[in-house]
Structure 1
Amino acid sequence: MSFSQDDQDYSNGNQYVISRYDGGEYIGEIISDDGREILIITQSIGKIYIRKSMISSIKKIENGEITYDEDYKATGPFTTRYYFTNNALPIKKNENYAMINLFGPEIQLSVTNSTSVGIMASWIASPIGVVLKQQLLSKNTFHLSLGTIMGTSGYIEQGSIFGGLHWLTATFGDRSTNISFSGGVGYMKWPSAQNSSIMNNQRRIGENYGYNFYDESHPYYVPENPYDTTTTSYNSIWGWGGYYGYDRREQALREELYATNYYSNFNTEIFQFKDFQLASLFSISAITPIGKKASFIFDSMIISRNKKQLSYTGVREVDIDYTVYNTLTGLDDQYDQTILVGTDPVISDDTYNHTTLIFMPAVRFSKSFEKHSRYRLLVLLIFMN
């Protein structure tokens, strides 16, 4: 690409955006062009010579197209994303970048000015995923893009666990100040329960026996033992938050139902597991400058999913024996109780909604075009209906 005074007419008074191959942009009036370099004048630092070999494009600014007056606008690949989510602005060609996150590295490569592909993984290279982003529309300050992440567990579980996330993003604004709204779906598929213990807490639907010591509305609520006349039926155990207790009756019931198998984190004799989960995802994110080198980022994500429940078609009486510490005598008293528990579980048609809200306010510091640092505060809220 070359520019000269012979084939370019830079009318006096017009403002231009001069984009460099390194992603930077100068905004100003072009004074001269001798074929090797151009001379521009900016508002704050005056005249600047730029070599033509460094320039990727020169674009005339139309009235109302740019509403700010910075002399140097740092674009670059990091302006295409917030902390975790992304906006609809594209990664321009030759603006490839790498990131180091807490969970692992990430690499993004621009295929064209509107298409990018990337790889993200944990520090042990599993799980690992492929990221695709395609800009669909860009008109003035409105941008629209489609994003996809497809991943597997890698060498963990021989890649038998896989999932995906697909979303649409609408962005209003430019690279320095914008707000984005995103919505999409995510899913995860596990192998059969007997073959995998990955994310077993997320996969659990419920226990094979139905009971509850705390919720009186539960169909198999276990009431207090009416014959228990001691002052406490709890063991005091030291935890991170100080002393907490657990009901000795609950421990006795679990040992009666499951013997010692209950202490296994993943056991199909105790729990019912799912092999597929679908979720809806939404996000609202924004960025605005708070100085020459810093920008404030607000990032968020809302994850909503319906979780399955178990219903029990049978009933079983269970006799338990347990001890209770008597604070008056300092001794353990022996008690017994008959408890009704649900049996023969089936997956119910009824589900309950589980919604997670994640807020990630952050500050990004631009050390240079190639280097950016981000510091964020994570706020996590969980709602279950």
Structure 2
Amino acid sequence: MRILLFACLLISTINLRAQENTADTTSVYRIETNDGNEYIGTIISRNSEAIVLKTVRLGEITLRVVDIVRIETVLKDRIKNNLLWFDNVQATRYFFQPNGYGLKKGEAYYQNIWVVFNQVSYGFSDHFSLGVGIIPTFLFSGSADGIPFWLTPKLSIPLVDDRVNVGVGVFYANVLGGGEGGTGIAYALSTFGNKDKNLTIGIGYGFSGGELGQLPAITFSTMIRTGQRGYFISENYFLTSADETLALVSIGGRRIIKRAGLDFGLFVPYSTDQNIFFAIPWLGLTFRLDKKKN
């Protein structure tokens, strides 16, 4: 009887030990601590008090659970030359124009352009997202009347995973209390390539006061990853009539800073009836709002 009790106690202790000391040597994790440091590696052991992480540069290190603020799973193809290539914070857009990729369900980000333009976008499903933006004029006028706002619903459909994606959506803008029909553009687009290197061709028709424009705007945009944290971006619009051709072309980039992205570039307007050359600077900042934690 004593032998049986001892065997049961030993088995229970072993099971409890196994539950408290788990390992995951197949997945790669990024662990951020409360002192601002981050570590990338595989988990050798893990319990309620500490995690032992095997890293390439530091070997095995022990991190206290109370010091950990975030744990994220990292895809192995994001590790290049022992460096983590951060995810594109705003992979579904160029500077402002969307592409065929959509936010996943629960993903969200906040975008600010030149301090004045503010937008929050959220993925309600893997195929539908909605953005809401405003210019906070009430900070200066003290009134909510006349605040410019816009809505950007978009439906995204992958035709070939990570190769071909199509999207349809609307950019609708109005002012609070305006009482008018608003203005905007309805568009469709196709994106070829993955989230790190792609090309988008789109077409859109403007509308205002309930009437649809007769001439389409054509868009041609591209995004190419240049390194661990950098992207090259070009976003371009073309509108042609019988008398004139209008274009808005841009060149710039994006710098990934952990969960944020800094966009910078120049937009150059062009018209066949205009000989003046000038460039409009672009500066935007995007923050991811959703949190991945294991």
TM range (shorter): 0.5 to 0.7
**Any idea what SS the aligned residue of 1:381 has?**
strand
Among all aligned residue pairs of Structure 1 and Structure 2, give the percentage whose two residues are the same amino acid.
15
**Compared with structure 1, are the counterparts of its residues 179 and 364 closer, same or farther at alpha carbon in structure 2 (3 Å cutoff)?**
same
8 A Cα contact 2:99 2:189, kept in partner = no
Partners of 1:171 and 1:276 in 2: how far apart? 27
Tell me, yes or no, if the aligned pair for 1:289 and 1:296 is still in contact at 8 Å.
yes
- Equivalent position of 2:108 in the other structure: 96
TM superposition shift of 1:80 = 3.3
Q: In 2 relative to 1, CA 188–139 (structure 1 residues): closer, same or farther, beyond 3 Å? A: closer
Residue pairs, 1:1-385, within 5 angstroms: 10=24, 14=26, 16-18=27-29, 28-34=41-47, 38-47=51-60, 49=63, 54-55=70-71, 61=76, 68-75=80-87, 77-102=89-114, 104-124=117-137, 126-137=147-158, 141-142=162-163, 144-155=165-176, 158-174=179-195, 177-190=196-209, 276-290=213-227, 294-306=229-241, 352=242, 354-369=244-259, 371-383=260-272
Give the number of aligned pairs. Answer: 239
2-side partners of 1:356 and 1:143: how far apart?
29
> How far did residue 379 of structure 1 move?
1.9
Instruction: Give the Cα–Cα distance (whole angstroms) in 2 for the partners of residues 353 and 44 of structure 1.
Output: 63
| Rounded Cα–Cα distance in structure 1 between residues aligned with 2:181 and 2:190 | 30
Distance in 1 (alpha carbons) for counterparts of 2:85 and 2:186: 32
CA 1:372–1:140 in 2, change beyond 3 Å: closer, same or farther? same
Distance 2:179 2:158 in 1: 39
Shift of 1:381: 2.2
Any gaps of 5 or more consecutive residues in structure 1?
192-273, 307-351
- Evaluate the alpha carbon distance shift between residue 30 and residue 121 of structure 1 in structure 2; reply closer, same or farther with a 3 A threshold: same
RMSD (Å), alpha carbons:
4.1
For 1:50 and 1:353, the matched residues in 2 are separated by 69
Paired residues of 1:29 and 1:42 also in contact (CA < 8 A): yes
Conservation of the 8 A alpha-carbon contact between 1:297 and 1:362: yes
- SS of residue in 1 equivalent to 2:179: helix
Query: Given that residues 111 and 117 in structure 1 are in contact (C-alpha distance below 8 angstroms), is that contact kept between their aligned partners in structure 2?
Result: yes
> Which of the pair has more CA radius of gyration?
1
Letter of the structure 1 residue corresponding to residue 199 of structure 2: S
C-alpha deviations, 1:255-293, integer Å up to 9, x for none?
xxxxxxxxxxxxxxxxxxx98444132222113235x5x
Runs ≥4 in structure 1, deviation > 6 angstroms? none
Change (3 A) 1:46 1:361: farther
Cα 1:157–1:94 change in 2 (3 A) is closer
Q: State TM-score, norm by structure 2.
A: 0.61
In structure 2, do the counterparts of structure 1 residues 178 and 38 end up closer, same or farther at CA, with 3 Å as the change threshold? farther
Cα gap change, 1:128 to 1:20, in 2 (>3 Å):
farther
